[in-house]
Amino acid sequence: MRVVTGADTEKKLAAEAAAGLVEDGMTVGLGTGSTIAFLLPALAARGLSGLRCVATSVATEEQARGLGLPVEDFDRLQRLDIAIDGTDEVTPDGWLIKGGGGAHLREKIVAAAAARFVVVADSSKPVAELRGPVPLELFRFGAASTLARLGPEVVLRDVPPSPDRGVIADYRGEIGNPAALAARLEADPGVAAHGLFPPALVSELFVGRGNGVERTTIRA
């Protein structure tokens, strides 16, 4: 039997609060991870009509479909009204590290397509400064040369390729200024995506703490 932890309670509270933002007829991006596993039943329980959802991972898609949430191909939607996702770390000014589940490429594309990107988390996720590691997805083509260029701070993760056939790795070096590191990683043609999400992408943060939820607006 799975033991329910305090973190689970906080994830559930944050996820339920975020589910309350979704309205009839909205286009919705569904993130990935254990916090989102609480969002999906909360969203399904609302019994909204006309929802159109896209999922950031196979696991989310399967759970959402099993709950009766309508998931469609992202090729059919240009914009999303809202996307809701978890995070591994979040700083007070709204920088995130995502990709603990290796889904950061799709998660970032979905977040960028959303008018409102809401992040849900338990109270272990807020940090004063990003600590890392920073997940990476590398293009499969030339991955050995990309890894050689990125140097020893980048370590392959022992997981299957992403649904887009990308190679999952982690940057384990100093983070320092996250904007500078993001720019450095984006400058390498072999890096398909990194897990640094800038505050400009994040609308709101819902953090479960004890028996309550703290809401913070990052980008109005």
CB 48: neighbour CB atoms within 10 A?
16
Residue-wise DSSP of 88-107: SEE-TT--EE--TTS-HHHH
- Among candidate residues 16, 107, 137, 204, the one labeled active-site is 107
Using only C-alpha atoms, the chain has a radius of gyration, in whole angstroms, of 17
Q: Look at the chain and count its residues.
A: 220
What minimum distance in Å lies between the beta carbon of 107 and ligand 5RP?
6
Is 10 labeled as catalytic in the residue annotation? no
Query: C-alpha dihedral over 120, 125, 128, 134, to 10 degrees?
Result: -100
> What's the gap between Cα 167 and its chain centre?
18
Q: Give 154's DSSP letter.
A: E
What minimum distance in Å lies between the beta carbon of 99 and ligand 5RP?
5
What minimum distance in Å lies between the beta carbon of 117 and ligand 5RP?
12
H-helix or E-strand containing 113?
Answer: helix 104-113
User: 96 vs 147, which CB is nearer to ligand 5RP?
Assistant: 96
Binding stretches for ligand 5RP (CB under 6 A)? 31-35, 85-88, 98-104, 107
Q: Helices marked H in the chain — which ranges? A: 6-19, 34-45, 58-66, 104-113, 143-150, 178-186
- Catalytically active residues, by annotation: 107
